[in-house]
Chains A and B, each alone.
Chain A
């Protein structure tokens, strides 16, 4: 029996378990690519608009940091600049989660023990998911390339750009193969890999900010070459393509796989290399209540979110100061920002309002994941043990709801403060701007309360569907918010999203009525959820 015996069978098991997730990935990537390419093509119809875009992309620090380098002023380059971050983050995260799900999570749950006791080689448990995830990245990249070509971009550049995205996916597949060997929990392995993605982004951003302009090209500085996200750019899709750069993720994959095999040989099944710290023998008084437990379980994630929101907020604030330069020569983009930001003439205010709206949408994800922990506790069985104590159901769920809503309030406040601070630092008067936008951020809270109410209602009334429906609803709001204005959807459809009803401060004046109505809707949904939770079976 070799170390790889059973790899084929295990790969089929991975395919069977993930058939829906993989299908969504393989279908969603080209669709997203096609939609993004289509919107860019519509936006930059003529040479002048494209040259002005390229000029901004090459000079603006914010554009370099977030969109990366460009190597030409054609449509393809603009598509890459606009879509690269979204597509690569998606590929990196989906690959990471998939690898960890089929490696560390299997060990954590004990499934790996069952499998390892069968006629299965030592390395098959890791090799099988790697084969599937790498294969899926290659397939998704091919489909993405065809989608770019179908949208009207040159074939060679399309394939190079898609290959760059696939390469990023493969690189983080490799990273996750290693992190899954290090930690004991799948959460930990995912967090380590996500941190690696963050470092890769910072290195790439630094390399591109420090890079030098050469005509219509940006020659990135050396830090970009340390980052798998940078490698994708260095393929120079739609410029003079350098196909050999696509070999770098493959080299990383081989090296990381060998390293992971080596690590796996040195450790026991189920153990990690980073060992668990011990905890206190007695609980601190602050832990001994539902709210104390809630804080303990969510504080790490809230701190992480806060840091991310502050960094992004300050960056967006700085970016706002450049909005007038970037947009002045592009009426279509100006129109879009004005539409997202409440339809006013002052582009900076519109941009700031639009950014606060985007923050509120993303913070919706914090609310959803925080509340869905209740469902995970229910499926895992610990909720049963809790509800068998003298803690009432309504009290328990209400604690979770209040916790999620307070977390959301902190995050939108921080988002507003940080954005205001960033803009103030660039344009002057940071203190006043921070307070002004901090208040504007808090105005987003009623929309987030509606999200809180919706998830609570789903938990109480349709527990089995609560996880998928909660995310589906949030993604629906996200699409309405981001694409609604661009696609000219009818107002009745846009009104379905609570975010549509938040006044776009600072671009427009505060109106109280919509905020009151949103809060009332949230209250009704919360009540329905709590009553449903009180009445239903646990677990169900």
Chain B
């Protein structure tokens, strides 16, 4: 039974179609990366999952319940860290943490103190005096100190420094070590690579890719740089080979993984002197989807991306 199962979710704001048949499947115990360019509908999806917005069409199941109808009972079993943390300016950070914990149905005091220590957060400061990063820490501590089944994190670390980012990753691993599920919306690719078991990439309100990172890599091209004794010819005509360029007497090209074998067979005939083959970096992988310039999955209407 998946923790989150969204099928064909549609949500419009007036004339703008923010979600346009989105699918998302998150299994129990995994850290699921939720990626997409700004305005692609990540926060809208999360708000639907939290029962804040009501979807126009499609199926949404959360912890085997209806996120709209069963909002209150489901919310006892999840914790949420919003992307843009706003707090009550005249409450102290400690008060805000305790309040969120209590409204959610309880908080592990020992964990709370431990997390305050680990995230180096002063709970006596007034919320208005916190920086963006410290406001995020308040929300993270309040969420992580609650023992729940699902953590919904919407760009939780965009204001954290690298040291705190490391603490954050350790704490997320501790959550999943205890069997919890995490939905992590993030732009920090290193964080996604370090934490996520599977990722879903969305664009303009649609899911364009979903799977484990190695599966996604497999779909992307490998970059090959080769130096041959005899001048290399005929590569550009091979199937699955793109972007052939001569650089410093070598040839650099991109090849789709399933055509790598045929390429190598071709290269051998020109006496290979040096060869470097690099799998796609995560960045290339995402840019391919974010940018969408040269693949068949480009969503037609970029103007339809809502401003969030």
CB of B98 closer than 8 Å to a CB of A: yes
- On whether the beta carbons of B125 and A388 are closer than 8 Å, the reply is no
In the complex the two chains form, what is the Cα distance from A296 to B50 in whole Å? 27
In the complex the two chains form, what is the Cα distance from A380 to B88 in whole Å? 10
Closest residue on chain A to residue B11 by CB atoms:
A537
By a beta-carbon cutoff of 8 Å, the part of chain B in contact with chain A is 47, 50-54, 71-73, 75-76, 78, 80, 82, 84-95, 97-100, 102-105, 123-126, 128-129, 139, 152
In the complex the two chains form, what is the Cα distance from A316 to B197 in whole Å? 72
- On whether the beta carbons of A382 and B103 are closer than 8 Å, the reply is no
For the residues of B in contact with A, the DSSP-based class is mixed
For the residues of A in contact with B, the DSSP-based class is loop
- Chain B residues whose C-beta falls within 8 Å of the C-beta of A393 in the assembled complex: 71
CB of A276 closer than 8 Å to a CB of B: yes
In the complex the two chains form, what is the Cα distance from A469 to B198 in whole Å? 48
- On whether the beta carbons of A281 and B128 are closer than 8 Å, the reply is no
In the complex the two chains form, what is the Cα distance from A386 to B94 in whole Å? 16
Which of B72, B97, B102: most chain A CB closer than 10 A?
B102
Known: A278-B125, A385-B85, A385-B139. Is A537-B103 also a contact (CB below 8 A)? no
In the complex the two chains form, what is the Cα distance from A539 to B97 in whole Å? 22
Closest residue on chain B to residue A108 by CB atoms:
B128
- Chain B residues whose C-beta falls within 8 Å of the C-beta of A280 in the assembled complex: 92, 94-95, 124
- On whether the beta carbons of A388 and B129 are closer than 8 Å, the reply is no
- Chain A residues whose C-beta falls within 8 Å of the C-beta of B126 in the assembled complex: 276-279
| A-B pairs with beta carbons under 8 Å apart, 5 shown | A276-B125, A283-B95, A288-B102, A290-B103, A385-B80
Closest residue on chain A to residue B54 by CB atoms:
A537
- On whether the beta carbons of B89 and A185 are closer than 8 Å, the reply is yes
- On whether the beta carbons of A289 and B72 are closer than 8 Å, the reply is no
**Residues 501-540 of chain A, each 1 if its beta carbon lies under 8 Å from chain B, else 0:** 0000000000000000000000000000000000101110
- On whether the beta carbons of B94 and A389 are closer than 8 Å, the reply is no
- On whether the beta carbons of B52 and A276 are closer than 8 Å, the reply is no
- Chain A residues whose C-beta falls within 8 Å of the C-beta of B92 in the assembled complex: 278-281
In the complex the two chains form, what is the Cα distance from A537 to B152 in whole Å? 19
- On whether the beta carbons of A283 and B50 are closer than 8 Å, the reply is no
CB of A473 closer than 8 Å to a CB of B: no
Within 8 A of B (CB), among A353-399: 380-382, 384-393
Sort A-B residue pairs by CB-CB distance and give the 3 closest, nearest first. Answer: A279-B92, A283-B98, A288-B102
Closest residue on chain A to residue B146 by CB atoms:
A389
In the complex the two chains form, what is the Cα distance from A539 to B72 in whole Å? 17
CB distance from B4 to the nearest CB of A (A): 15
CB of A287 closer than 8 Å to a CB of B: yes
CB distance from A288 to the nearest CB of B (A): 4
- Chain A residues whose C-beta falls within 8 Å of the C-beta of B53 in the assembled complex: 537-538
- Chain A residues whose C-beta falls within 8 Å of the C-beta of B103 in the assembled complex: 288-290, 386, 389-391
- On whether the beta carbons of A279 and B104 are closer than 8 Å, the reply is no
Closest residue on chain B to residue A538 by CB atoms:
B52
In the complex the two chains form, what is the Cα distance from A194 to B92 in whole Å? 26
Which of B51, B76, B89, B105: most chain A CB closer than 10 A?
B89
- Chain A residues whose C-beta falls within 8 Å of the C-beta of B102 in the assembled complex: 283, 288-289
A184, A279, A381, A535: the one contacting B125 at CB < 8 Å is: A279
Closest residue on chain A to residue B101 by CB atoms:
A288
CB of A293 closer than 8 Å to a CB of B: yes
In the complex the two chains form, what is the Cα distance from A287 to B94 in whole Å? 12
Known: A283-B98, A288-B102, A391-B103. Is A276-B129 also a contact (CB below 8 A)? yes
- Chain A residues whose C-beta falls within 8 Å of the C-beta of B128 in the assembled complex: 108, 184-185, 276
- Chain B residues whose C-beta falls within 8 Å of the C-beta of A382 in the assembled complex: 86-88
Within 8 A of B (CB), among A387-435: 387-393
- On whether the beta carbons of B52 and A287 are closer than 8 Å, the reply is no
- On whether the beta carbons of A388 and B75 are closer than 8 Å, the reply is yes
CB distance from B136 to the nearest CB of A (A): 12
- On whether the beta carbons of B82 and A297 are closer than 8 Å, the reply is no
CB distance from B36 to the nearest CB of A (A): 20
CB distance from B290 to the nearest CB of A (A): 25
CB distance from B164 to the nearest CB of A (A): 20
- Chain A residues whose C-beta falls within 8 Å of the C-beta of B54 in the assembled complex: 535, 537
In the complex the two chains form, what is the Cα distance from A297 to B139 in whole Å? 20
- Chain B residues whose C-beta falls within 8 Å of the C-beta of A277 in the assembled complex: 126
CB distance from A298 to the nearest CB of B (A): 11
- On whether the beta carbons of B47 and A384 are closer than 8 Å, the reply is yes
- On whether the beta carbons of A389 and B129 are closer than 8 Å, the reply is no
A279, A297, A392: the one contacting B94 at CB < 8 Å is: A279
Known: A278-B125, A384-B47. Is A389-B75 also a contact (CB below 8 A)? yes
